[in-house]
Structure 1
Amino acid sequence: MKIEEIKHPELKNHINMIYMHEENQNQSAIDKTESEIGEYIKDKEFIISIEDSKPVKIPYANDGQYLVPIFTDEAEYLTGMDYFSLNDMAENKEYAIEKLENYKKLKEDPNFLGYIVNIARVSYIIRTTLL
Structure 2
Amino acid sequence: MKIEEIKHPELKNHIQMIYMHGENQNQNAIEKTESEIKECIKDKYFIISIEDGEPVKIPYANDGEYLVPIFTDEHEYTMGMQYFSFNVMDENKEYVIEKLDYFKKLKEDPNFLGYIVNIARVSYIINLALL
| Coarse TM-score class (shorter-chain normalised) | over 0.9
Shift of 1:88: 4.2
Deviating beyond 6 angstroms after TM superposition, the runs of 4 or more aligned structure 1 residues are none
Pairwise CA RMSD: 1.1
Question: Structure 1 16/40 Cα, relative in aligned 2: closer, same or farther at 3 Å?
Answer: same
Distance 1:115 1:39 in 2: 16
* Range that drifts further, 120-129 or 52-61: 120-129
1:68-109 superposed Cα distances (whole Å, 9 cap, x missing partner): 000000011010010111334222441000000001110111
Partner of residue 37, structure 1: 37
Structure 1 position 85 matched with structure 2 position 93: no
Rounded Cα–Cα distance in structure 2 between residues aligned with 1:91 and 1:61: 21
Answer whether contact 1:49 1:92 (CA < 8 A) is retained.
no
TM-score by length of 2: 0.96
Q: What is the identity, as a one-letter code, of the residue corresponding to 1:83? A: Y
Q: Equivalent pairs: percent with the same residue?
A: 82
- Structure 1 gaps, min length 5: none
The secondary structure found in structure 2 opposite 1:85 is: helix
Please state whether the residue corresponding to 1:49 is helix, strand or coil: strand
Q: Give, in whole Å, the separation in 2 of the partners of 1:20 and 1:124.
A: 13
Match of 1:110 in 2: 110
Letter in 1 for 2:2: K
Q: Which moved more, 1:3-12 or 1:118-127?
A: 118-127
CA distance in 2, matches of 1:55, 1:24: 35
Tell me how many residue pairs correspond in the alignment: 131
Gaps of 5+ in 2: none
The alignment partner of 2:10 has SS state of: helix
What are the superposed Cα offsets for residues 47-74 of structure 1, whole Å, 9 maximum, x if unpaired?
0000111100001110110000000000
Q: TM-score, normalised by structure 1?
A: 0.96
Counterpart position of 2:126: 126
Question: How big is the shift at 1:122?
Answer: 5.0
